[in-house]
């Protein structure tokens, strides 16, 4: 059945629909990961985004019950060049087509994804509409709908993907997943290290697993939780998660982080990184087409060590806007984007990318150990105080 992606610039990319029928508006972006489409689909950071896969062949490993990073599919739509007609992985219990139907998400195959991605790389990500079935017939109406959508700038989406009530997370990682990692032994369960309050701006399951496996008792709290409510929970550390939307619009979280900085160790990832940058006095800006994929090279300027990392972000901390005393700890080798920050005196650090490796390379997993060590050092200093 006919399907199309229509962009705000008037261009239209036809194809064959799968998943559910209908139409959906969103920001059209592309992802360069070679694997892990199930984790991609269930990443809350993709809320309101129509994702185009640069991999030519998608769907051959199907869908399983172990790999989702949240309880639902968050993408507004999914575009692939070729949808596999068969599923051949032993873990699969559903096809990609069936999975999108179950979650009410539109897919498009046989789409000229290479041409579409080149357009997005040149002109930047755009507002667009994905349509499948009868809704795909009137392309002029679809282009008009794309132009009418306000876009991501100024859009607070953290509230839409966050949990409604605090809850305790107990599941840990399976060490078998990391048997081939250079530091595989570090992924065994640790003894109790303290209590971490994790802000859910769109948190992924494997982040929580990695915190638990490092000996933390983890309490997940809604995005709108105040600093006073955090203090009532008496945490030994605070974690700020990934999430969708414009970080500058999440003003309530910025105020909360300002209040917590210097009182407890803080670790931020992706949106959490951007919120820390804003809370420290910096600014953020929108990238032309963002970083989305599992092959982004990042360098530590102090020792020139390069790690390959997984990304999903369209905004970044603006260079030159941070106050003195804040260290830039990571830089993207493709475009010199700020990828990491550290405020030593405030016991806070952050990275722009997703070190939990779900999916993605394991190069940056040690950041969770770094956070655990920071919490342990802080707890020891409190005990040593008279």
- Name the 3-class secondary structure at 102: helix
Which residues partner with 4 through β-bridges?
Answer: 14, 131
d(CA 66, CA 91): 9
Burial of 84 (0-12, 13-18, 19+ CB in 10 A): middle
Q: Is 270 a catalytic site residue?
A: yes
Tokens encoding 74: 């968050």
Rounded to 10 deg, the angle between the 271-279 and 251-260 helix axes is 70
- Name the nearest CA neighbour of 214 among 362, 376, 344: 376
Give the tokens for residue 371: 């956070």
Element (H, E) at 77: strand 77-79
Q: Which residues pair with 78 in a beta bridge?
A: 51, 107
- Torsion, Cα 273 291 284 340, to 10 degrees, reads 40
Instruction: Give the whole-angstrom CA distance, residue 355 versus residue 214.
Output: 14
DSSP 226: -
Active site residue 354: yes
Give ∠ CA 254-331-323 in degrees, rounded to 5. 45
SS3 at position 263:
coil
Residues 351 and 328 sit within 8 Å (Cβ to Cβ): no
Q: Is 337 a catalytic residue?
A: no
Catalytic residue among 69, 270, 311, 337: 270
CB 351 within 8 A of CB 331: no
Cis status, amide bond into 359, omega within 30 of 0: yes
Is residue 177 within a helix (H) or strand (E), and if so which, with residue range? none
Which residues are 82's β-sheet partners?
57
Q: CA separation (Å) from 303 to 10, 37, 108, 383?
A: 47, 33, 44, 33
Strand ordering across the sheet containing 306-317: 167-169, 216-222, 194-200, 237-240, 266-269, 348-351, 338-343, 327-332, 284-299, 306-317
Among the options 47, 291, 313, 354, which is catalytic? 354
Which residue numbers are catalytic? 270, 354, 356
């Amino acid at each position: 059945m006919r399907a199309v992606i229509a962009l705000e610039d008037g261009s239209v990319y036809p194809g064959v629909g799968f998943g559910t029928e209908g139409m959906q508006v969103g920001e059209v972006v592309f992802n360069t990961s070679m694997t892990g489409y199930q984790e991609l689909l269930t990443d809350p950071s993709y809320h309101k985004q129509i994702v185009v896969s640069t991999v030519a062949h998608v769907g051959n490993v199907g869908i399983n019950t172990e790999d989702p990073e949240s309880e639902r599919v968050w993408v507004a739509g999914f575009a692939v060049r070729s949808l596999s007609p068969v599923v051949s992985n032993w873990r699969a219990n559903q096809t990609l087509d069936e999975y999108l139907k179950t979650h009410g998400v539109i897919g498009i195959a046989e789409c000229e994804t290479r041409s579409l991605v080149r357009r997005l790389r040149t002109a930047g990500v755009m507002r667009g509409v994905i349509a499948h079935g009868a809704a795909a017939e009137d392309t002029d109406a679809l282009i008009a709908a794309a132009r009418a959508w306000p876009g991501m700038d100024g859009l607070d989406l953290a509230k839409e993907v966050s949990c409604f009530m605090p809850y305790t997370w107990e599941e840990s990682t399976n060490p078998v997943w990391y048997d081939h990692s250079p530091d595989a032994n570090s992924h065994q369960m640790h003894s109790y290290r303290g209590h971490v309050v994790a802000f859910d701006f769109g948190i992924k399951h494997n982040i929580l697993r990695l915190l638990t496996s490092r000996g933390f008792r983890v309490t997940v709290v809604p995005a709108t939780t105040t600093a006073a409510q955090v203090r009532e929970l008496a945490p030994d550390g605070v974690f700020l998660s990934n999430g969708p939307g414009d970080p500058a619009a999440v003003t309530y979280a910025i105020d909360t982080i300002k209040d917590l900085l210097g009182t407890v160790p803080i670790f931020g990832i992706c949106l959490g990184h951007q919120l820390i940058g804003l809370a420290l006095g910096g600014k953020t800006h929108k990238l032309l087409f963002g970083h989305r994929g599992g092959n982004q090279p990042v360098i530590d300027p102090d020792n020139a060590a390069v790690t390959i990392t997984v990304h999903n972000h369209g905004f970044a901390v603006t260079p030159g806007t941070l106050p003195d005393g804040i260290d830039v700890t990571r830089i993207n080798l493709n475009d010199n984007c700020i990828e990491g920050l550290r405020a030593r005196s405030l016991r806070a650090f952050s990275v722009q990318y997703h070190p939990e490796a779900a999916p993605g390379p394991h190069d940056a997993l040690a950041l969770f150990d770094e956070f655990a060590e920071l919490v342990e050092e802080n707890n020891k200093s409190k005990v040593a105080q008279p």
